[in-house]
């Protein structure tokens, strides 16, 4: 296992995660929908890609839509077509099945949706894919990574399509992955009796950070593989700062290897801080309220609901309603920035925790 600068594609590239791979492979082939949830950079995309490497799949990265104010079903279909095109070289018969789908055209090895979105029947696209999979004795897995970003789709609701596939098409299943776990559940509206997906069983795989022991072992092995000797002291300090977040540990490993020395940890923290601050401040801008910054400032060591409220009132010099405090905290939880542990709200990511009292997001509002 070597340190990677991008998501893993093969199980052999993954440290640990054997149990999750096994569960995901079983679930992908035997359950209609599998949810893979966990905080940013914990290894969801890597797990999903590696575990489904030899399974017929369509992979859509909905992060593409993250920065957009809104998206259309057309944007989604274009991504779908791009990924589906990659299956054509392996099955000429797929073309026969797809040619029945209205609004879809195939040129060489490229699938495109032409005509207006209204001309395209998405259920019939999935019907054709299911018939094809059935005829080949295969199972097609449709993976939508960071699926909650599809909530910005306007003019079309994909949930009835997902429900249709769930109920009728046995040779197709979905894997939905997401870092913003609350947003993911809000999007799928599983607990809402009016929702198309209400009451449907979904297998949930929650990916957790590595334990301290695993993190130390992960770094030792990575350096070993690179043929570089690194002192236990440095490895220890790296895990103190980066916790069990595999994305940060990998970044540290790569940074150290490219330029060995005790400074590598500081360089890693500085790069990671930039990334995290940008992500958080983008969220603050999208929400349009500085109060999220104040809450994060208050949470450096973790805090209770009342402590957060008191802090906000102190900083603003005026009363703030209970419902406002609850809303701020809930949105931060839903977007995967903080979590509730017993009575305390704590910042999930070690880097955001580290810089939390200094974050200002000045130019973002």
Write out the residues near Mg ion by the rule CB under 5 A.
Answer: 45
Task: Yes or no: say if 144 and 175 are a contact pair by the CB < 8 Å rule.
Answer: yes
Least distance in angstroms from the C-beta of 3 to ligand ADP? 7
Q: Which residues of 16-43 are buried (b: 16+ CB within 10 A; e: fewer)?
A: ebeebbebbbebbeeebbbbbbbbbbbb
Among 24, 28, 41, 169, binds ligand ADP (CB under 6 A): 41
Q: Decide whether 307 or 334 has the Cβ nearer to ligand ADP.
A: 334
Tally of CA atoms within 13 A in the half-sphere of 191 that contains its CB = 4
Consecutive H or E run containing 110:
strand 110-113
Least distance in angstroms from the C-beta of 176 to Mg ion? 12
14, interface contact from ligand ADP, Mg ion, none, CB < 5-8 Å by kind: ligand ADP
Least distance in angstroms from the C-beta of 346 to ligand ADP? 19
Least distance in angstroms from the C-beta of 50 to ligand ADP? 8
Q: Decide whether 6 or 362 has the Cβ nearer to ligand ADP.
A: 6
If you write DSSP's letter for every residue of 159-224 in order, what string do you get? HHHHHHHHHH-TTEEEEEEESSHHHHHHHHTTT-TTSTTTT---EEEE--PPPHHHHHHHHHHHHH
184 binds ligand ADP (CB under 6 A): no
Q: Which stretch binds ligand ADP (CB under 6 A): 36-44, 71-79, 302-310, 342-350?
A: 36-44
Task: Yes or no: say if 297 and 359 are a contact pair by the CB < 8 Å rule.
Answer: yes
Contact letters for ligand ADP, residues 132-171 (x by CB under 6 A): ----------------------------------------
The residue at minimum Cβ distance from Mg ion is 45
Least distance in angstroms from the C-beta of 5 to ligand ADP? 6
Least distance in angstroms from the C-beta of 236 to ligand ADP? 19
234 binds ligand ADP (CB under 6 A): no
Least distance in angstroms from the C-beta of 120 to ligand ADP? 30
247, interface contact from Mg ion, ligand ADP, none, CB < 5-8 Å by kind: ligand ADP
Task: Yes or no: say if 257 and 229 are a contact pair by the CB < 8 Å rule.
Answer: no
Which two tokens mark 287?
Answer: 């929400």
Give the Cα-Cα-Cα angle 21, 79, 199 (nearest 5 degrees): 55
Q: Could you tell me which residues come within 8 angstroms of residue 62 by beta carbon, excluding any fewer than 6 positions away?
A: 79, 144, 145, 146, 147, 148, 149, 150
Q: Which stretch binds ligand ADP (CB under 6 A): 43-51, 129-137, 228-236, 335-343?
A: 43-51
Of 235-264, binders to ligand ADP (CB under 6 A) are 246-247, 250
Which two tokens mark 67?
Answer: 């920065």
276 binds ligand ADP (CB under 6 A): no
Instruction: State the CB neighbour count (10 A cutoff) for residue 321.
Output: 9
43, interface contact from Mg ion, ligand ADP, none, CB < 5-8 Å by kind: ligand ADP
Q: Could you tell me which residues come within 8 angstroms of residue 68 by beta carbon, excluding any fewer than 6 positions away?
A: 75, 152
Q: What residue has token string 């925790």? A: 353
Least distance in angstroms from the C-beta of 341 to ligand ADP? 20
Q: Decide whether 56 or 219 has the Cβ nearer to ligand ADP.
A: 219
Q: Is 131 exposed, middle or buried (0-12, 13-18, 19+ CB in 10 A)?
A: middle
15, interface contact from Mg ion, ligand ADP, none, CB < 5-8 Å by kind: ligand ADP
- Contacts to ligand ADP by CB under 6 A: 4-8, 14-17, 38, 40-46, 179, 246-247, 250
């Amino acid at each position: 296992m070597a340190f990677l600068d991008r998501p893993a594609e093969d199980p052999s590239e993954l440290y640990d995660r054997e149990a999750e791979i096994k569960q995901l492979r079983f679930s992908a082939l035997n359950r209609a929908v599998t949810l893979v949830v966990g905080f940013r950079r914990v290894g969801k995309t890597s797990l999903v890609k590696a575990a489904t490497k030899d399974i017929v799949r369509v992979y859509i990265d909905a992060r593409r839509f993250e920065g957009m104010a809104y998206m259309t079903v057309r944007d989604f279909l274009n991504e779908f077509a791009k990924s589906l095109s990659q299956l054509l070289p392996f099955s000429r018969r797929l073309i026969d099945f797809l040619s029945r789908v209205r609004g879809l055209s195939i040129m060489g090895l490229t699938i495109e949706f032409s005509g207006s979105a209204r001309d395209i029947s998405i259920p019939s696209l999935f019907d054709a894919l299911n018939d094809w999979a059935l005829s080949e004795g295969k199972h097609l897995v449709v993976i939508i990574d960071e699926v909650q970003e599809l909530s910005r789709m306007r003019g079309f609701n994909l949930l009835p399509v997902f429900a249709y596939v769930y109920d009728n098409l046995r040779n197709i299943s979905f894997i939905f992955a997401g870092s913003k776990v609350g947003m993911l559940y809000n999007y799928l509206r599983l607990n809402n009796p009016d929702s198309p997906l209400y009451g449907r069983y979904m297998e949930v795989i929650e990916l957790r950070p590595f334990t301290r022991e695993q993190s130390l072992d992960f770094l030792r092995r990575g350096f070993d593989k690179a043929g570089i000797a690194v002192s236990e002291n440095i490895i220890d300090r790296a895990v103190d700062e980066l916790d069990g977040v595999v994305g940060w540990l990998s970044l540290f490993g790569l940074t150290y290897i490219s330029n060995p020395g005790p400074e590598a940890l500081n360089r890693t923290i500085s790069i990671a801080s930039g990334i995290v601050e940008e992500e958080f401040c983008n969220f603050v801008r999208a929400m349009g309220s500085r109060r999220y910054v104040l809450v994060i400032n208050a949470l450096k060591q973790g805090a209770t609901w009342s402590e957060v409220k008191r802090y906000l009132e102190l900083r603003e010099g005026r009363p703030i309603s209970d419902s406002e405090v609850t809303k701020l905290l809930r949105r931060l939880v839903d977007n995967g920035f903080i979590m509730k542990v017993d009575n305390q709200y704590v910042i999930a990511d070690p880097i955001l925790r580290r810089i939390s009292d200094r974050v200002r997001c000045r130019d973002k509002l």
